[in-house]
């Protein structure tokens, strides 16, 4: 039977529940596990420490190497992403770190090509060279020209953070040739986009966001082939970056409601994006499908526009500051993808460490749309935009007077 994503989200990763006699996912909090004997326990340890699975009769040995609660979430996410496997980590940045290490310095290819814009933490890590790899940043059409013999990885994000730029995954994969491509799929989720179907080697999520969906867990996960998963698990075991089982439980539970949450969030975001485009205080709305030339790629690559919006405000930083402090229903906070709506200023926060030439403008504000009624969110933005307009006018008046 071929199941649709909404059904997979509810049932994936639960195949052993009947045998266990449970209906809700069990949480295994064991830090260590009994060993059958030295030989079998040692063989199982060796298998997991090198990126494999626990051996039958050998035991899980130690939680840094393997946890069944985490494994069930991984199985479910992999099925949604049309992947052979998935590997979960304690954060999205830990997942990215494992991908970089396993594909660059660990295999003697210490060069990365990265398509901007990217999440600020990703950009900062790549730019820092902290993990021993050099990064060439480029535009989507410059990937092929940026590849070197020592290039081990191409990194992109689509829709990109914070301005929702769309990147043609299949085109970048074609330019990359034999070099593996990692796609940050956080904004789209597996329900709206499956990068592996378009040739990418890895689809990465900050699972903290839409997959968890309630702002109460930090996690990262990468969907990929089993061969790639072995390399990622080896790094995870060595660096101790395993996701805590309680976090895995929350993520597995979150997957079940992801389809209905995202459907509602996306519908509300579409309404708000269209409304924002009519407001005098808004110079530009960034939302997939609203910019010229995006619709064909959106239709070919995604199954919807998602629930993230960014706006460029008339009045610059002063307007942005007034808007973020003036909302009453939106929460002024970083992160995204939860049931409540959030607003934040990327240049001052999530993208603060990004090099000046790639940092978002000070007039840009990012919105994560939650499950509230769209009319209530619009009412809140209306009064906050009035405050933003007043702040911008005061700033202009003050500048004029000073002259």
Catalytic positions, written as ranges: 64, 119, 184, 209
Q: How many CA atoms lie within 13 A of 170 on its CB side?
A: 9
Instruction: For 304-320, give the DSSP string.
Output: S--SEEEEEETTHHHHH
Pairing of strands 111-115, 364-368: unpaired
Angstrom distances, CA of residue 320 to CA of 279, 336, 346, 353, 387: 14, 18, 10, 19, 10
In Å, how far are 60, 130, 188, 191, 368 from 337, measured between CA atoms? Answer: 33, 29, 10, 13, 6
Q: Which helix (H) or strand (E) holds 364?
A: strand 364-368
Query: In Å, how far are 72, 173, 338, 384 from 381, measured between CA atoms?
Result: 40, 39, 18, 5
Which two structure tokens, joined as six digits, stand for 104?
């660059």
CA distances from 354 to 214, 297, 347, 350 (A): 27, 27, 8, 9
How far, in Å, CA of 281 to CA of 44, rounded? 62
**β-bridge pairing 134-138 and 151-157:** unpaired
**In 240-301, which ranges are continuous DSSP H helix?**
245-276, 295-301
């Amino acid at each position: 039977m071929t199941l649709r994503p909404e059904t997979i989200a509810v049932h994936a990763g639960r195949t052993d529940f009947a045998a266990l006699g449970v209906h809700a996912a069990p949480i295994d909090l064991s830090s260590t596990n009994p060993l059958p004997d030295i030989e079998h326990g040692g063989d199982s340890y060796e298998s997991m420490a090198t990126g494999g699975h626990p051996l039958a009769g050998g035991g899980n040995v130690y939680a840094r190497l393997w946890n069944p609660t985490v494994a069930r979430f991984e199985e479910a996410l992999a099925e949604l992403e049309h992947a052979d496997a998935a590997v979960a980590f304690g954060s999205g940045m830990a997942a990215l770190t494992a991908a970089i290490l396993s594909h660059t310095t660990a295999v003697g290819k210490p060069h990365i090509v990265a398509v901007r814009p990217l999440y600020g933490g990703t950009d900062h890590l790549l730019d820092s060279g902290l993990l021993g790899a050099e990064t060439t940043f480029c535009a989507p059409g410059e990937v092929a020209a940026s590849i070197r013999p020592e290039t081990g990885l191409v990194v992109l994000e689509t829709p990109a953070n914070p301005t929702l730029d769309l990147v043609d995954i299949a085109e970048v994969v074609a330019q990359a040739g034999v070099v593996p491509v990692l796609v940050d799929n956080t904004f789209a989720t597996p329900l709206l986009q499956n990068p592996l179907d378009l040739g990418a080697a890895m689809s990465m999520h900050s699972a903290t966001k839409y997959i968890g969906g309630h702002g109460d867990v930090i996690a990262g996960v990468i969907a990929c082939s089993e061969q790639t998963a072995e390399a990622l698990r080896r790094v995870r075991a060595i660096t101790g970056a395993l996701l805590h089982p309680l976090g895995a439980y929350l993520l597995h539970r979150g997957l079940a409601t992801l389809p209905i949450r995202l459907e509602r969030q996306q519908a509300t975001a579409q309404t708000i994006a269209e409304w924002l485009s009519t407001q005098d205080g808004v110079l530009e709305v960034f939302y997939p499908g609203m910019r010229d030339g995006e619709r064909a790629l959106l239709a070919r690559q995604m199954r919807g526009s998602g629930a993230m919006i960014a706006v460029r405000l008339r009045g610059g930083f002063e307007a942005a500051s007034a808007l973020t402090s003036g909302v009453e229903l939106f929460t002024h906070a970083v992160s995204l993808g939860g049931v409540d709506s959030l607003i934040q200023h990327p240049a001052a926060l999530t993208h603060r460490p990004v090099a000046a030439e790639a940092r978002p403008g000070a007039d840009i504000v990012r919105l994560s749309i939650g499950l509230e009624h769209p009319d209530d969110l619009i009412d809140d933005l209306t009064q906050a935009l009035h405050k933003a307009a007043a702040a911008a006018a005061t700033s202009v008046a003050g500048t004029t007077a000073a002259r």
